[in-house]
Amino acid sequence: MGVGAIEQVELEDVGPIRVETRACPQCGADNTARAARHSRAPWTIKDCGDCGFVYLEKAPVYDELFRTLAWQKNWKREEKRRKKARPLSYRASKLTRFRLHMFPRKQVDDLTIRFARPGNVIDIGCAGGKRLATLPDQFVPFGIEIEEEIAAQADTLFRTKGGRAVNASSLDGLKQFDDGFFSAATLRSYLEHEVQPREVMTEIARTLAPGGIAIIKVPNYSSVMRPIMGLEWSGFRFPDHVNYFTPASLRQMIEGVGLNVRRFNFFDQMPTSDNMWMIAERR
C-alpha cells in the first residue's frame, strides 16, 4: 500500500476501522519500502530514511469518523443503546477515549502562569474544558475538541470566562483564529495522537502572538525504559500514538515551523522519564 492509501483493518476489541498510510509527518518522505522498526500486527512503526522521525505508518482516520458521527450528541446517556444499534461507531468512540481522560493539571497551569503573558490561551484537544478551568482570570480560555458533545461542554464553560471552544479537528479549528490571537497554547498528551503534527504546529506558530508560548508534553521515545520494556513500554499505544518523538525530533519539528525552544532542559527531557516537556516560543 502506497502513501495516502486507505484500507480497512480489523482491530481487536474495536472492530473494523479505516486507516490511511502516512508519509513521514516531519519531512513528507515515503518510507513504505523500508523495514519496520517495531511492529505489532497490523501496526508498523517506521523510522524515516531521510530525517529519522519515528511514526506509525498506518493511522486511523479519526477526523472522518467524527465528522460523520452526528449522532454522537448525548453519547454518554445513550451509550448502551448505541452499542447495540451502532457497534462500529460505539467502538470508534471507545478507541479515542484517551481524549476524555483527566490529566493532572497542576503542572501545565504552573507553566502557563509562569511563562505566558496574560491573554487568550488555547488547549488543543480540550475535551470538556476542565483543564483550563482553574487558570487565573488574566487568561481567557479557548479550546478545540473534535467530539461534539464534550466540545459543547467546554464551550459553555469557556464562554463564562470570555472564551469559547470550537468543535473541529485541531487543524480546521486553529484556522478559525486570527494571526497572533493567543498568548499560549497547551498541548498535553496530544501531539503523539495527531496525524498532522507539523501542520498543526505551523498553525499554532501563526496564531501565537510574538512572545507567545506553546507548552508541550509528549512521550519520550528516547526513554531508557523503551528498550528495556520493548513493546510493553508505556509510550507504545497501538494505534492511538501515531508519532514517537525524541528530544531531537521534537526540537526539529518546533524549530522547523519557526518557533524557538524557550525551555527544554535536562529535567524536561530526562532519559529516565517516559515523558518530556518543552516550552516553545514565537519570536
Closer residue to Zn ion (CB): 7 or 50: 50
Cβ of residue 281: shortest distance to Zn ion, in angstroms?
Answer: 24
Closer residue to Zn ion (CB): 53 or 244: 53
Closer residue to Zn ion (CB): 24 or 122: 24
Residues making contact with Zn ion (CB under 5 A): 24, 26-27, 29, 48, 50-51, 53
Cβ of residue 55: shortest distance to Zn ion, in angstroms?
Answer: 8
Find, among 209, 217, 210, the residue nearest to 140 by Cα. 209
State the Cα–Cα distance between residues 218 and 223, nearest whole angstrom.
12
Cβ of residue 26: shortest distance to Zn ion, in angstroms?
Answer: 4
Q: Is 48 helix (H, G, I), strand (E, B) or coil?
A: coil
Whether residue 136 has a cis bond before it, omega within 30° of 0: no
Closer residue to Zn ion (CB): 189 or 252: 252
List the beta bridge partners of residue 165: 143
State the Cα–Cα distance between residues 137 and 141, nearest whole angstrom.
9
Cβ of residue 117: shortest distance to Zn ion, in angstroms?
Answer: 34
State the Cα–Cα distance between residues 31 and 244, nearest whole angstrom.
15
Find, among 166, 140, 162, 139, the residue nearest to 152 by Cα. 166
List the beta bridge partners of residue 15: 11
Closer residue to Zn ion (CB): 66 or 221: 221
Closer residue to Zn ion (CB): 112 or 249: 249
Cβ of residue 244: shortest distance to Zn ion, in angstroms?
Answer: 12
Task: Report CA-CA distances (Å) from 210 to 30, 179, 184, 217.
Answer: 34, 10, 10, 21
Cβ of residue 22: shortest distance to Zn ion, in angstroms?
Answer: 11
